[in-house]
Amino acid sequence: MSSPPSASASSSPPPCPKKMITLRSSDGATFEIEETAALQSKTLENMIHENCASTLIPVPNITGEVLARVVEFCSKHAEAGVDDESLGAWDEEFVAVDHTTLFDYIRAANFLEIPTLLDLGCQTVADMIKGKTPDEIKKTFKITTACTPEEEEEVRGENQWAFE
Amino acid sequence: MASFKSIIQDVKDEIGNISRKGFDHVKFGYGLRSRSHRVVQDSSVVVDALKQSCWASMPPELLRDVLMRIEKSESTWPPRKNVVACAGVCRNWREIMKEIVKTPEVSGKLTFPISLKQPGPRDSLLQCYIKRNRSNQTYYLYLSLDQALNEDGKFLLAARKLRRPTCTDYIISLNPDDMSKGSSTYIGKLRSNFLGTKFTAFDAQPPSAGSRVMKSRSTRLVNFKQVSPKVPAGNYPAVHISYELNVLGSRGPRRMQCVLDAIPASSIEPGGVAPTQTEFMSSTLDTFPSFSFFRSKSTRVENLESGRPMSAPKDGMLVLKNKSPRWHEQLQCWCLNFHGRVTVASVKNFQLVASPEQGVAGTEHENVILQFGKVGKDVFTMDYQYPISAFQSFAICLSSFDTRIACE
């Protein structure tokens, strides 16, 4: 996003370029992100302030695929002039992904400490859980822990009462 | 920073005692489901499959975040069933959810069935209603879902009347379709004497029942003492109710007294506490604490201060009496202010307040702990608060149906 050109473009200095940070994913892919967008991540914010000279930040436990999307998210949320409604719609689109990917976003948001993305991700998961029985939840999240017969009985009784 | 090693450890912790084989099955069962066509480098394929495919490896603080959101947003019934559903997914989810959910005393909300055995909210009445079904001699207790007196409620308990040669029993259960005493849904019963003047409510569990550590396989440190040997589901006296005519005989309102065996009189004083059951005990458990006190990191400590047995003679039991109605000269009847919650006059209607200290002459306590009254042909409201529970309240109200003292 550059500022509109002034009337006397030939004589005024060129607009300052936005400071870009380069992130490198676990699998070696690199992504550019504006510093203002990167600051939405508390982790990146700390790294930027600690390491002013270098603009290449390794992000070792996030893959390129996920990091690309995270960069997209932060950039979108750093954009000026986006109204709440359209941002909300954009966010909804963003999390309309399979569980695996959603979980990746949440893990990435947790590691990079991006409150907006973490909030969005966790709320999406919460909304996925609502309205499901314990068995349906287990299926959705592929939870296969064993239960004793007593535990099963207790849960069954509890849920029979709750869904009464 | 979650390294590969720590992720494995997290997964192991989460899954618990699932075998290595089982774990591998989990890992390979999903395959890779990449949303995009972008190339994922070969060297990271195995790592990604592990990290991406397994919700069970969600860091505990994130799982907790998700469960807290659900508990907060599903605050009323019927949506609150989602909180119960989450607690039924696996041990880990259960532990977290049970820790997040507060007792009715604190939150004013009923969540798990055990809430029905716990003291009601302090400072406000929990509004319920009872429906009587004369054809099958059954009474149904519901939580009111809105302020209006319409019949839209969450089912809580059912009681079925059983006439016996020398007494009457009301069997109280969590499941209206299963009213047998041997069932896991059996909560307790109310028994009347032959004359219908005295009643005893029995709890299937003792007052201090419940210890998270006995059911949970968690490795959190807890303090507990094993005191008693195996105790079967029994009958523990919880409330003693008696009815008498007042001095005006059957022309005046009857007098009611309830003695709560397990609730100390001090519970209603500033700083007082009442016992809080935390779990339903399965009769297959080997040990059972009857007079010990349990503290686990995940249980809110509501019991009496450590060291004192439940019904120490020094600290007397809580006694409730019905509030004296006042004679309304113009209307020519006895009146109690039910604040709109009771709309049909009936001798069954009552308000219970704490009885003044024995030997101390003083005015009646003002704070209504239990209120019961008719609003329709077979519909009655029941409002209760700390220190009594929904179960105790229901039992007391049932006695009001049954007693023949001063009936029209």
Task: Decide if A68 touches B, using CB distance below 8 A.
Answer: yes
Contact call for A134 and B48, based on CB within 8 A:
no
Kindly state the average pLDDT of the residues B300-315: 41
- Whole-number pLDDT of residue B247: 73
Q: Mind telling me how many Å the CA of A39 is from chain B's nearest CA?
A: 19
Quick one: pLDDT at residue B246?
A: 78
**Residue B245 confidence (pLDDT) above 70:** yes
CB-closest option in B38, B82, B112 to A158:
B112
> Which of the listed ranges A80-84, A131-135, B145-149, B252-256 does the model predict with the highest average pLDDT?
A131-135
Distance, in Å, from the CA atom of B379 to the CA atom of A4, rounded to the nearest integer, reads: 73
The predicted-structure confidence for B160-172, as pLDDT tens digits, reads as follows 999 999 999 999 9
Q: How far is A153 from chain B (nearest CA, A)?
A: 9
Please tell me the predicted confidence (pLDDT) of residue B320. Answer: 95
pLDDT of residue A68: 95
A65 in contact with chain B, both atoms CB, cutoff 8 A: yes
B310 compared with B256, residue with greater pLDDT: B256
Determine contact, residues A158/A129, Cβ cutoff 8 Å.
no
Give the tokens for residue B188. 């307790």
**Both tokens assigned to A111:** 């590691």
Worst-scoring range by mean pLDDT, A6-20, A83-97, B26-40, B306-320?
A: B26-40
Q: Which of A26, A130, A164 sits opposite B44 (nearest CB)?
A: A26
- Say how many residues make up chain A: 164
Tokens of B287: 């040990």
- Give the separation between CA B119 and CA B315, rounded to whole angstroms: 18
Decide if pLDDT at B323 tops 70. yes
B283 has pLDDT over 60: no
If one counts every other C-beta atom within 10 angstroms of the C-beta of residue B372, the result is 29
Higher local confidence (pLDDT), B18 or B210 = B210
The more confident residue out of B59 and B225 is B59
The reported pLDDT for the residue numbered B224 is: 37
Tokens read off for B48: 């990604």
Among B273, B247, B263, residue whose Cα is nearest residue B106: B273
ipTM of the complex: 0.85
End-to-end CA distance of chain A: 57
- Band of pLDDT at residue B180, cut at 50, 70 and 90: confident
CA distances from A107 to A95, A125, B361 (A): 14, 13, 66
pLDDT interval class at B40 (50, 70, 90)? very low
Give me the pLDDT at residue A13, please. Answer: 67
Tell me which residue has tokens 């948001």. Answer: A109
- pLDDT of the residue at B332: 84
- Selected residues 35-64 of chain A with any CB under 8 Å from a CB in chain B: 60-61, 63-64
What one-character-per-residue DSSP string does B273-310 give? Answer: ------SPPPTT-S-B-SS---EETTS---SPPTT--T
- pLDDT value at B315 more than 70: no
- Going by C-alpha positions, the residue among B63, B387, A133, B118 that lies closest to residue B109 is B118
Please report which residue ranges of chain A form alpha helices under DSSP H.
35-38, 42-50, 64-78, 84-94, 99-112, 115-129, 134-141, 149-162
- Residue B325 has what pLDDT? 82
Q: What does DSSP say about strands B255-264 and B379-384: parallel, antiparallel, or unpaired?
A: unpaired
Q: What is the phi/psi pair of residue B46, to 5°?
A: -60, -45
Average pLDDT, chain A: 87
Q: What is the identity of the amino acid at B63?
A: L
Among B15, B35, B90, beta carbon nearest to A97? B35
Q: What is the pLDDT of residue B309?
A: 39
Structure confidence at residue B59 as a pLDDT band (50, 70, 90)? confident
Window from A35-44, A154-163, B27-36 with minimum mean pLDDT: B27-36
Opening angle at CA B407, ends B406 and B408, nearest 5 = 120
Convert the pLDDT of each residue in A54-71 to its tens digit: 778 888 889 999 999 999
DSSP letter assigned to residue B170: E
| Inter-residue contact B405 to B254 (CB < 8 Å) | yes
Q: Is the pLDDT of residue B26 over 50?
A: no
Average pLDDT, chain B: 77
Looking at the complex, report in whole angstroms how far the Cα of residue A134 sits from the nearest Cα belonging to chain B: 5
DSSP annotation of B386:
T
Mean pLDDT to the nearest integer, B357-374: 74
Please name the amino acid found at residue B128.
C
Q: Kindly state the average pLDDT of the residues A91-99.
A: 94
Strands A20-24 and A56-58: parallel
pLDDT at B45 over 80: no
Question: Confidence class of residue A137 from pLDDT cuts 50, 70 and 90?
Answer: very high
Instruction: Let me know the angle formed at the C-alpha of A148 by B51 and B15, rounded to the nearest 5 degrees.
Output: 10
Pairing of strands B326-328, B186-192: unpaired
What lies within 8 Å, CB to CB, of A125 at 6+ separation is A102, A106, B66
Q: What is the pLDDT of residues A11-65, one digit of tens each?
A: 666 666 678 889 999 999 999 999 899 999 999 888 888 876 577 888 888 999 9
A17 in contact with B at a CB cutoff of 8 Å? no
Report for B224-233, B260-269, B335-344, B380-389: range of highest mean pLDDT = B380-389
Inter-residue contact B368 to B393 (CB < 8 Å)? no
Out of A7-11, A77-81, A84-88, B400-404, pick the least confident. Answer: A7-11
CA distance A146 to B299: 24
Choose among B48, B69, B85: nearest Cβ to A126. Answer: B69
